Amino acid sequence: MGACEQELIETTLPPPDQTNLDAPCTGAGTAGSASFTKFVAVGSSYVAGFQAGALFDEGQNNSLAAILNKQFECVGAPATFKQPTINTALGFNIFVTPNPTGTGVVLGRMLLQGASPRPTPQVSTVAAIPNPSVNPGFLYTASTKAELNNFGIQAIVLGQALIPETGSWAAGAGGDPRFNPFYGRLAYPGGTTTVIGDAAAAGGSFFLFWLGMDDFLLHAAFGGDATKAPLTTAPAFQAQYGAAIGALLGSNANLKGVVANFPSIFVTPHFTSVVWNPVPLDATTAAGLTASLANNYNAFLNGMVGAGAISPDEAAKRKLTYAAGQNAVLINDETLTDLSPYMAGPYAGLLPYARARQTKNTDIFPLSAGSVIGTTIGGDPTKVNGVSVPLGDQYCLIPTEIQAIEAGRVAFNATVKQVADANSTRLAFADVDKAFTDFITAKAYVIDGVAITPNINPPTGIYSEDGIHPNSRGYAFISRVIIESINGKYGASIPLTNLSGYKATGLPIP
């Protein structure tokens, strides 16, 4: 469909920043009023080192937490930083369903691939499957949880960090949606501890807490489909966030840390790569769709206006138009009037379109929609997803969903700031939201002699191939924001991470 191509940004870059090009610990670094004798990180995918749709060795080795600890070594942190190693080169892709595929192929991380480069899952191995019955090596046995430094768990919401069901394989076997195998792997069969409890028991002297992004990100990634990933309410988030921070600070009167807020996700490549009108039609196909679908549906809508079932404005929003060139995507919009009660007898064939309309430029597609739009159902050329058949709810965000997600994010950020202010002697506040807003506005930075841009494009993009999680260089960029907040709060002089030491997204492969 040509829907996943990145916009090329042309801009005049600022002069290179020549600072911090030496080894990280060159010169005197001080810890200020903080102690880094054991650094503990708590978070979700961004803290775990998740990249390109999967958790894999290289990404984990360059996790945000690991990058921060490397800089903390300059002010007394031990060089040993224990993460629950995944031991797989390509990992397990959580954006692909089903995985393994119907033919048993295990899909892992994405790479840019093809003549028109697209994020393409690579064939992984059984060793990546998050199921100990077929992959015993998935369970983590290298050390006890108390020895770990990184408690970043991919695809986890804040509330899951406070309940034992998250790590209970018995709960998972019973279909409990709260179960997460990437936490369960730390203590099989699990079910007695929590992520926050484990992090508090790890005996850290300093912590990063960046948990809560998935409370709105997962909902958005699934197109606002609450049956797949609900949006956490602001009151629930506030209570859970306070409980989590309270448990960590209460575990050690001398413990200090840093918390971070959440940037907007709708400016990331994951939500900007698939345009609202990606369907190319020739004149013949457009005319056929007009005759077989649009004329019938539009006439039915006129009848519904006459019957008083819908207003003329709603009918206008719903009417279908097909023309040669780029066309909008056919979707179901749950905010529209359900016309199924009127679709009996001669109109029964219109039942799939009871809440149908075509997309506008106010709708947003997650990246996953790019691989579904234009595909046929059961090989039937007359049943094409997004063209003649409405696209599933999980593949499109409508304005009301977008507004709800952004409102949630803003409320969550307010909670993070309130908690940081209420514990001002023990918590630094990293304004990651502002850092990314400024980055998007600037369109490009040059730091440590390295040009970076807020997209996937090699060699400058800071996002990995899934378009929402940073690559190693992107995580290094975030680490600088966090370190600056720590230095400012505790009077420390931790060197900022040198971006030139971390890889960006690789060039496309054939």
Which H, E and C letters describe 301-336, residue by residue? HHHHHHCCCCCHHHHHHHCCCCCCEEECCEEECCCC
Q: Which residues pair with 112 in a beta bridge?
A: 119
Alpha-carbon distance 375 to 432, whole Å? 38
Q: What percent of the chain has pLDDT over 90?
A: 90
Q: What percent of the chain has pLDDT over 70?
A: 95
Nearest Cα neighbor of 277 from 202, 404, 369, 355 is 369
Alpha-carbon distance 93 to 368, whole Å? 12
Query: Residues of 293-323 as b/e, b for ≥16 C-beta within 10 angstroms?
Result: bbebbbebbeebeeeebbeeebbeebebebe
Q: Report yes or no: 365 and 276 within 8 Å, Cβ to Cβ.
A: yes
Alpha-carbon distance 292 to 426, whole Å? 66
440: part of which helix (H) or strand (E)?
helix 432-442
21 pLDDT exceeds 70?
A: no
1 pLDDT exceeds 80?
A: no
Q: 354-370: per-residue pLDDT in tens?
A: 999 999 999 999 999 99
Q: Report yes or no: 324 and 283 within 8 Å, Cβ to Cβ.
A: yes
Nearest Cα neighbor of 507 from 456, 431, 468 is 456
268 pLDDT exceeds 90?
A: yes
In the chain, CATH 3.40.50 covers 39-268+399-428
10 pLDDT exceeds 80?
A: no
Alpha-carbon distance values, 447 to 182, 473, 481, 499 (Å): 34, 11, 13, 7
Q: Report yes or no: 375 and 384 within 8 Å, Cβ to Cβ.
A: yes
Q: 287-325: per-residue pLDDT in tens?
A: 999 999 999 999 999 999 999 999 999 999 999 999 999
245 pLDDT exceeds 70?
A: yes
Alpha-carbon distance values, 255 to 79, 150, 203 (Å): 20, 16, 9
Alpha-carbon distance 238 to 257, whole Å? 19
The three-state secondary structure class of 342 is helix
Q: Give the per-residue pLDDT at 117.
A: 87
Tokens linked to 256: 């200090």
Alpha-carbon distance 449 to 451, whole Å? 7
Q: Give the per-residue pLDDT at 9.
A: 38
Alpha-carbon distance 330 to 356, whole Å? 7
Query: Residues of 280-290 as b/e, b for ≥16 C-beta within 10 angstroms?
Result: ebeeebbeebb
407 pLDDT exceeds 60?
A: yes
Q: 179-220: per-residue pLDDT in tens?
A: 999 999 998 999 999 999 999 999 999 999 999 999 999 999
Q: Which fold has domain 39-268+399-428?
A: Rossmann fold (3.40.50)
Helices (H), 30-137: 45-48, 57-61, 64-72
Q: How many CB atoms lie under 10 A from the CB of residue 509?
A: 11
Q: Which residues pair with 118 in a beta bridge?
A: 113
Q: 451-505: per-residue pLDDT in tens?
A: 999 999 999 999 999 999 999 999 999 999 999 999 999 999 999 999 999 999 9
Longest dimension (CA), the chain: 81
The three-state secondary structure class of 189 is coil
Helices 472-490 and 64-72 cross at an angle (nearest 10°) of 50
Q: Which residues pair with 54 in a beta bridge?
A: 51
Average pLDDT, integer, range 246-265: 97
Q: 316-352: per-residue pLDDT in tens?
A: 999 999 999 999 999 999 999 999 999 998 899 999 9
Q: Give the per-residue pLDDT at 114.
A: 87
381 pLDDT exceeds 60?
A: yes
Mean pLDDT, rounded, of the chain = 93
Q: Give the per-residue pLDDT at 23.
A: 55
Q: Give the per-residue pLDDT at 27.
A: 60
25 pLDDT exceeds 80?
A: no
The three-state secondary structure class of 496 is coil
Query: Residues of 337-357 as b/e, b for ≥16 C-beta within 10 angstroms?
Result: bebeebbeeebeebeebbbbb
424 versus 5: the higher-pLDDT residue is 424
Average pLDDT, integer, range 124-142: 95
509 pLDDT exceeds 80?
A: yes
CA atoms within 13 A on the CB side of 295: 7
